[in-house]
Amino acid sequence: MIGIIGGSGVYEITQKADSCTKKLVQTDYGDVEVSLLEMFGKKVAFIPRHASGHSIPPHKINFRANIDALKNVGVTKIIATNSVGSMNEDMPPGSFVIPDDFLDFSQDRVKTFYEDKVVHIDVTEAYCPSLRDVLAQSGEVILGGTYVCTEGPRFETPAEIRMFKMLGGDLVGMTGVPEVTLAREREICYNSICIVSNYASGISPDELTIDEVFEMVAKKEPELLELIYNFIRNVDDGADCMCNHALDGAEV
């Protein structure tokens, strides 16, 4: 089964589904409502990351419950969408970027399922390269880039953006971590479509507002949905991957 974790711009994904049922999935970390879809002859599980009405702020998302719910319904491959600011002029607003690394500056989030045993997962390739290849075949995307995750909900300062750039960051957002590493701990392939909504603070000539984020996402929504639909058509949802064996050699 394919999992889709949608931020802004993906809530309409169910419109092309041949069937859609909602299921309340129980996990050890809370219950999650999952939409179970039939699309293009494949089974898809969809979760809106910020819940109905975009009501949950980034620092309050129950990442463990979301990932565990997808695992519990049989998901083996996840595509997530993330709205981001750009620190790289080669990744302008309106771009779709597929990251290949991250820097984690989030602060108060529980970042592992393993609190009672020692598990060290490898994140040399944090984002699944096999899914990246499928996304590259599915639409116009920029391949590669380092995603910087901040705690939010405030935007970053110009000084923080300068620091992130010096450390090699290209994109900045508030929702990508620990989602990516929790998926790895559950041995699920994971990759992200980062929708560049604006240039980051100190790069953009204007003050940052959430309105411009929503406006850009709304503008790009048809292209984003078509990219996801093409991904669902193209991906081999039964293919084995190194991500599906991430715990081999990781447990002490």
Known binding-site residues for substrate equal 174, 198-200
How many residues in total does the chain contain?
Answer: 252
Residue with tokens 């991250």: 102
Question: What H or E segment, with its residue span, contains residue 192?
Answer: strand 189-199
The annotation places the binding site for phosphate at: 8, 49-50, 175
The annotation places the binding site at: 8, 49-50, 174-175, 198-200
Q: Closest Cα partner for 164 from 174, 154, 172?
A: 172
Question: Residue 103 forms beta bridges with which residues?
Answer: 148
Residue 126: φ, ψ to 5°: -65, -35
